[in-house]
Amino acid sequence: MTDDPLRHYWHAVAIAEELKDEPMPARLLDVPIVLWRSGGKAVALHDLCIHRGTRLSLGWVENDELVCRYHGWSYDCAGACTRIPSLPSERPIPRKARVTRYHCQERYGLIFVCLDEPRRGIVEFPEFDLPEYHTFFFGRHHWKTSAARMIENFMDISHFPWVHPGTLGDRAKPVIPNIDVKRGDGELYFEVQSDGRSRTDPSVVTTDKVTYRIILPFTIYNERITPAGDRLIFFFLASPISHNEIDRYMFLARNYALDESDEGFRKFSLEVAEQDRIVVESQRPEALPLDLSEEFHLRGPDNCAVVYRRMLRELGIDNVA
């Protein structure tokens, strides 16, 4: 997958607090990665020793360098071999004795990796640091599907009455209004109206504005805004482990009920996600077909999916992980 355009984007690969003193394996786009800390900073290298192809993640960290468990070769944070114990001290270390280093950053309590030169930065999540918002992390959840299938499912409103009846949808009201999708620089946007309930008086039905911002390739910024100004934001990151496996990282931010427990929000959201997971994991092929003739599309309800698939193809992607 060395020519895969997805290699030029940042993807979350781990929860930062999990990476402590020992190296940790990860996988992105079928590429094995070893994560470790040098001087407290996260580093990502290709998880194979150049010598005999042993997983470097089986080794350990010593003096801020990564040591291979097989023959004791040491690598610095740039991927260069600094020590070969079996060589006499007067023998220089060959210049080719190095492993590939990948771009690595910590943000939002996660570790992000980009396998090639980044085409854009890590997606902004401004509410994460704003004091007027309470933000919490749902955790990492593994799905046996492709990242694009998961993203498309989230923005597919027409499945609500059938997969989420009584919560997000009503089977007595299955008709979906025409969705006006706006395209931007590497992203798409649309908004819909949705019934809600007043927090102060649950008997009062409100009309909330729900916005969907999909930042290519696999990030969602979704916001529900009530007439009273309450804002509930979901921030999703789908990380493509392979063409049919992802890790999904999810955050929720809100500017109301700041002192309330997160458990009610967490329980509802994870129940909805589990309903989606069962359906999405059944889809075949797992990879999202970007040739529009391979699946049937309805004008109106499927507008956003069609735009998303076209934009992915414009990135130069043929088969979406």
Instruction: Indicate if the alpha-carbon torsion angle 213, 6, 281, 12 is positive or negative.
Output: negative
pLDDT for 6-46, tens place per residue?
999 999 999 999 999 899 999 999 999 999 999 999 999 99
Question: In b/e form, how buried is each residue of 111-146, taking b as 16+ CB within 10 angstroms?
Answer: bbbbbeeeeeebbebebbeeeebbbebbebeebebb
* Residue 201 in this model has a pLDDT that exceeds 70: no
Q: What is the pLDDT of residues 301-314, one digit of tens each?
A: 899 999 999 999 99
With beta carbons less than 8 A apart as the criterion, state whether 239 and 12 touch.
yes
Query: The domain 5-114 is classified under which CATH number: 2.102.10.10, 3.40.50.2300, 1.20.58.110, 1.10.150.120?
Result: 2.102.10.10
Could you tell me which of 285, 281, 287, 280 has the C-alpha nearest to residue 321?
A: 287
**Residue limits of CATH 3.90.380.10 in the chain:** 126-314
The distance from CA 132 to its chain's CA centroid, rounded to whole angstroms, is 25
The answer to whether the CB of 44 falls within 8 A of the CB of 113 is yes
Measured distance CA(35)–CA(222) in Å, rounded: 30
Residue 232 pLDDT exceeds 80: yes
What fold does the segment set 126-314 form as a domain? Naphthalene 1,2-dioxygenase Alpha Subunit; Chain A, domain 1 (3.90.380)
Average pLDDT over residues 245-260: 95
| Chain region(s) in the chain for CATH 2.102.10.10 | 5-114
Is 34 strand, coil or helix? Answer: strand
